[in-house]
Structure 1
Amino acid sequence: MRDIVDPKDLEGVTEGAAGAKARIERAALGLFCARGVDAVTTREMAATSGVSEGALYRHYPSKESLAEAMFFAIHTRLAREVAAAAQTAQGIEAKARAIVAAYAKIADEDWTLFSYHLLTTHRFLPYADKSARVHDLNIVAIVEDMIAAAAAAREIPEGDAALKAASALGVVLQAALHKIYGRVTGDLTDHQDALARAVIAVLKS
């Protein structure tokens, strides 16, 4: 696990965040990844970021609102990249490789933020409101639709698209989880080809 505060990580997590807001987000991100959202207090976040609790509340009304904003910042980017990969690549194998490449690139660019997304998906996504934001950025639905279309075109065998989507995404996400645990080493891009081959094998099963 990276240090709670990394001097080079002073860019904010949410769009346009700078200065004190960026420091608050980065401090919170490191603390949340290290100990979990529930275990961290606003006092700790303020102290780690070098601002007062009052300043923190001027940017975010609550710890939960900050945690949710950071989750959807990375989730939105992932969803857009996955959607673009699924739309622009031709053929199911190329689409699979493009999606794996998108995940690996985003993970390696900001591993702490990617880890946070992975570790808190169960906290935010299943219980999020059914607004256009969540509906239009449904990574699982994008992959399911891609799989169903490939099956209809006879590129892959017919099967349960939801199950195949879960299994294919699990190849990448479980590998990332094991990287968090220290059982997988190196950047995800180092393993990109192997991950893509495993995803393609799942889709063709």
Structure 2
Amino acid sequence: MPRSGAEARRRLQQAALELYRERGFDQTTTAEIAARAGVNERTFFRHFPDKREVLFGGEADLRAALMQEVADAPDGLQPLDVLLHAFRKAGRVLEENRPFSEPRLELIGKTPALRERDLAKAAFLTEAVAEALRRRDVPDRLAGLAAQTGWAAFHHAAQAWIDDPSQSLDAHLLQAFDDLRALSANAPPAQVRPES
């Protein structure tokens, strides 16, 4: 039996990941996850509200860390550079936990119920990042656009890291933001629309 709450939580997450990969998400029950982790089902529900959430534990910590990193970014940076600073720090957590992160991201990519939860979490995190940018006096419209664009670049980099582990997540993240800058630098100027 795990002695601490953190240990039980970690074992539940690992057990869920293993079972989802072996049997599939839909075919796995919370009782089976608890049994594999060496705890009872009540312990599972003490840590996670449902079997989807077991793969998204730590989201509140990530949100708080991202908001803090946005706040702590050096003055004078453009919004996307602020986000790159924050995502590089957050990316270290994924890299340090690659044995869990990699199969987790693969599983989410092929499981509709988990993709749905991932999208909801992404929207929540994106709004938190936008709020952190607003606190740095980035105008509302730009804060929202930067947060959504930055989050998309982060996800793109994470997928590239899964597909090509020969480079670090940080290297993929730097490349994604460089590509983003190249796209916007090459964009034609907006056309003036005639008034109706």
The answer to whether structure 1 residue 41 and structure 2 residue 29 are counterparts is: yes
The answer to whether structure 1 residue 197 and structure 2 residue 178 are counterparts is: yes
- Cα 1:85–1:174 change in 2 (3 A) is same
Inter-partner Cα distance in structure 2 for 1:174 and 1:76: 22
**1:141-184 Cα distance to aligned partner (Å, 9 max, x none):** 233342796654xxxxx96653443222111102213444x356
RMSD: 4.2
What are the equivalent positions in structure 2 for 1:152-163 lying under 5 Å apart?
A: 152=139, 161-163=143-145
Q: Which residue of 2 aligns with 1:170?
A: 152
- Partner residue of 1:143 out of 113, 129, 140: 129
The sequence identity of aligned pairs, in percent, is 20
Of stretches 78-87 and 104-113 in structure 1, the one that deviates more from structure 2 is 104-113
Counterpart AA for 2:15:
A
Q: Which residue of 1 aligns with 2:53?
A: 68
**1:123-158 Cα distance to aligned partner (Å, 9 max, x none):** 2663x8xxxxxxxx9421233342796654xxxxx9
**1:83-127 Cα distance to aligned partner (Å, 9 max, x none):** 01110112225412311212321110113554537923622663x
SS of 2:95's partner is helix
Q: Which has the greater radius of gyration?
A: 2
Shift of 1:189: 2.4
SS of 2:27's partner is coil
Counterpart AA for 2:128:
I
- Partner residue of 1:186 out of 167, 185, 191: 167
Q: Which residue of 1 aligns with 2:69?
A: 85
The answer to whether structure 1 residue 24 and structure 2 residue 12 are counterparts is: yes
Q: Which residue of 1 aligns with 2:117?
A: 123
Inter-partner Cα distance in structure 2 for 1:201 and 1:57: 50
> TM-score, length-normalised on structure 2?
0.62
Q: Is residue 106–residue 114 contact of structure 1 (8 Å, CA) maintained in 2?
A: no
Count of residues in correspondence between the two structures: 173
SS of 2:6's partner is coil
Q: Which runs of 5+ in 1 are unaligned?
A: 1-10, 129-136, 153-157
Q: Is residue 96–residue 199 contact of structure 1 (8 Å, CA) maintained in 2?
A: no
